[in-house]
Structure 1
Amino acid sequence: MSTSRTNAASRTAHDPASAATPGSAPGPSRRGVLAGAAAVAAGATLPALTGSPAHAAGAARPNVLLIVTDDQPKQTEWATPKTVAWLAGQGVRFTNGHVTTPLCAPSRSSVFSGRFAHNHGVRNNGASHSLDQHTTLQRYLKQAGYRTGLFGKYLNSWAVADNPPHFEEFALLKPSYVDGTFNVNGTVQAVPGYTTTVIKNRTLAFLDKSRTDDRPWFAYVTPYASHGPRTPEAKYAGTEVPAWDGRPSVPEADRSDKPPYVRNATQTLADGRRVRAEQLRTLRSVDDAVQAFHDKLAALGQLDNTLVIYIGDNGFNWADHGLTGKGVPYRPAHEVPFYLSWPGGGLGAGTTDNRIVANIDIAPTVLDAAGITADTPQDGRSLLSGHSRDHLLIEWWKQGTGADHNTWSSYVAKDRQYTEYYDLHTDATGKVSGTGQVRFREYYDLQADPYQLRNSLHQATPADETALGIPGLAAALAADRTA
Structure 2
Amino acid sequence: MKNISNRYRSSFLLPCLILLGTVAWGCGQKETNRDDDPASSKPNIIFILTDDMGWGDVGVFYQNSRKKEGDRSEPWQRTPNLDRLAAEGARLTHHYVSAPVCAPSRASLLSGLSQGHANIRDNQFDKALADNHTMATVLKELGYATAAFGKWGLQGDERYSEDGDEWPAHPLNRGFDYFLGYMRHRDGHEHYPKEGIYRGQKEVWRNRENITPKLDKAYTADLWTAAAKQWITDQVQNSNDDEPFFAYLAYDTPHAVLELPTQPYPEGGGLDGGLQWTGEAGQMINTASGKVDSWVHPDYAQATFDHDKKASTPEIAWPDVYKRYATANRRIDSGVGDIVTLLEDLGVDSNTLIVFTSDNGPSRESYLPEEYEPNKPTFFESFGPFDGIKRDTWEGGIRVPTIAYWPATIPAGQVIDFPSINYDWLPTFVNAAGAPAPAIADGVSLLPELEGGEINHDRTIYLEYFQGGSTPEYEDFSMEHQGRERNQMQVVRMGDYVGVRYDIESAQDDFEIYNVPKDPQQTDNLAQQPENQRFIGKLQQKMKDRALQSRMPNESAPRPYDDEMMPPASNGETEAGVTWKAYDGTFPWVPRVRTLEPAATGKASRPDPGVADKDHRALFFRGYIDVPADGTYKLYLSTAMGAVLRIHDATVIDADYGYRPGTERTGEIKLKAGLHPFRLYFMNGNREDVRLQLQWSGPGISKQPVPPGRFRRGR
Q: Shorter-normalised TM-score: what interval?
A: 0.7 to 0.9
Question: Is 2:51 aligned against 1:70?
Answer: yes
Q: What does residue 99 of structure 2 align with?
A: 101
State the SS of the aligned residue for 1:348.
coil
Q: What does residue 482 of structure 1 align with?
A: 549
Shift of 1:13: 4.0
Q: What does residue 393 of structure 1 align with?
A: 461
Q: What does residue 181 of structure 2 align with?
A: 172
Identity across the alignment (%) = 22
Equivalent positions of 1:274-285 (< 5 A) are 278-285=324-331
Shift of 1:124: 2.1
State the SS of the aligned residue for 1:479.
helix
Shift of 1:57: 9.1
Shift of 1:131: 3.4
Instruction: Specify the code of the residue in structure 1 equivalent to 2:148.
Output: L
Report the more deviating stretch, 349-358 or 212-221. Answer: 349-358
Report the more deviating stretch, 323-332 or 134-143. Answer: 323-332
Q: Which has the higher helix share?
A: 1
Q: Distance in 2 between matches of 1:71 and 1:31?
A: 38
Q: Distance in 1 between matches of 2:209 and 2:126?
A: 21
Instruction: Specify the code of the residue in structure 2 equivalent to 1:204.
Output: K
Instruction: String of CA shifts for 1:85-142, please: whole Å, max 9, x gaps.
Output: 4421211111212112222111112221222111122212316546333221100111
State the SS of the aligned residue for 1:171.
strand
Query: For the Cα contact (< 8 Å) 1:422–1:438, is it kept in 2?
Result: no
Shift of 1:219: 0.5
Instruction: String of CA shifts for 1:65-100, please: whole Å, max 9, x gaps.
Output: 110111111111235634324421211111212112
Q: What does residue 539 of structure 2 align with?
A: 472
- Pairs aligned (count): 409
Shift of 1:188: 1.7
Q: What does residue 224 of structure 2 align with?
A: 199
Instruction: Specify the code of the residue in structure 1 equivalent to 2:192.
Output: V
Q: What does residue 296 of structure 1 align with?
A: 342
Q: Distance in 2 between matches of 1:29 and 1:370?
A: 15
Q: Distance in 2 between matches of 1:98 and 1:74?
A: 10
Shift of 1:334: 1.1
Q: Distance in 2 between matches of 1:399 and 1:332?
A: 16
Q: Distance in 1 between matches of 2:466 and 2:144?
A: 38
Q: What does residue 119 of structure 2 align with?
A: 121
Match of 1:213 among 234, 239, 243: 239
Q: What does residue 258 of structure 1 align with?
A: none
Q: What does residue 516 of structure 2 align with?
A: 446
Q: What does residue 669 of structure 2 align with?
A: none
Q: What does residue 205 of structure 2 align with?
A: 183
Query: For the Cα contact (< 8 Å) 1:125–1:156, is it kept in 2?
Result: no
Shift of 1:54: 5.8
Cα distance, 1:464–1:157 mapped onto 2, change above 3 Å:
farther
Shift of 1:436: 3.4
Shift of 1:355: 1.4
> TM-score, normalising length from structure 1?
0.73
State the SS of the aligned residue for 1:224.
strand
Shift of 1:340: 0.8
Q: Distance in 2 between matches of 1:331 and 1:149?
A: 32
Question: Is 2:498 aligned against 1:417?
Answer: yes
Report the more deviating stretch, 289-298 or 81-90. Answer: 81-90
State the SS of the aligned residue for 2:428.
helix
> TM-score, normalising length from structure 2?
0.51
Equivalent positions of 1:455-470 (< 5 A) are 455-457=525-527, 460=528, 463=530, 466=533, 469-470=536-537
Q: Distance in 1 between matches of 2:424 and 2:304?
A: 33
Cα distance, 1:448–1:60 mapped onto 2, change above 3 Å:
closer
**Which is greater in Rg?**
2
Q: Distance in 1 between matches of 2:507 and 2:543?
A: 17
What are structure 1's unaligned runs of at least 5 residues? 1-10, 22-27, 33-50, 246-272, 424-434
Q: What does residue 133 of structure 1 align with?
A: 131
Query: For the Cα contact (< 8 Å) 1:72–1:312, is it kept in 2?
Result: yes
Question: Is 2:430 aligned against 1:367?
Answer: yes
Instruction: Specify the code of the residue in structure 2 equivalent to 1:170.
Output: F
Q: Distance in 2 between matches of 1:217 and 1:189?
A: 24
Q: Distance in 2 between matches of 1:289 and 1:30?
A: 37
State the SS of the aligned residue for 2:417.
strand
Shift of 1:281: 2.3
Cα distance, 1:376–1:29 mapped onto 2, change above 3 Å:
closer
Q: Distance in 1 between matches of 2:491 and 2:136?
A: 29
Shift of 1:181: 2.1
Q: Distance in 2 between matches of 1:355 and 1:288?
A: 29
Equivalent positions of 1:4-43 (< 5 A) are 13=18, 20=25
Question: Is 2:148 aligned against 1:150?
Answer: yes
State the SS of the aligned residue for 1:396.
strand
Instruction: Specify the code of the residue in structure 1 equivalent to 2:237.
Output: R
Cα distance, 1:155–1:474 mapped onto 2, change above 3 Å:
farther
Instruction: Specify the code of the residue in structure 2 equivalent to 1:60.
Output: S
What are structure 2's unaligned runs of at least 5 residues? 1-15, 60-76, 158-164, 194-201, 262-293, 308-318, 364-375, 378-382, 471-483, 551-715
Query: For the Cα contact (< 8 Å) 1:149–1:168, is it kept in 2?
Result: yes
Instruction: String of CA shifts for 1:199-239, please: whole Å, max 9, x gaps.
Output: 01110110110201122111000111121223232322772
Shift of 1:471: 3.8
Q: What does residue 5 of structure 1 align with?
A: none
Query: For the Cα contact (< 8 Å) 1:31–1:371, is it kept in 2?
Result: no
Query: For the Cα contact (< 8 Å) 1:422–1:437, is it kept in 2?
Result: no
Shift of 1:313: 0.9
Instruction: String of CA shifts for 1:242-283, please: whole Å, max 9, x gaps.
Output: 8599xxxxxxxxxxxxxxxxxxxxxxxxxxx98766533211
Equivalent positions of 1:191-340 (< 5 A) are 191-192=215-216, 193-209=218-234, 210-214=236-240, 215-233=243-261, 234-236=294-296, 239=300, 278-316=324-362, 318=376, 325-340=389-404
Q: Distance in 2 between matches of 1:244 and 1:114?
A: 45
Instruction: Specify the code of the residue in structure 2 equivalent to 1:421.
Output: Y
Q: Distance in 2 between matches of 1:243 and 1:477?
A: 47
Question: Structure with the greater relative contact order (CA < 8 A, sep ≥ 6): 1 or 2?
Answer: 1
Shift of 1:196: 0.4
Q: Cα RMSD between the aligned structures?
A: 3.8
Q: What does residue 408 of structure 1 align with?
A: 489
Question: Is 2:82 aligned against 1:84?
Answer: yes
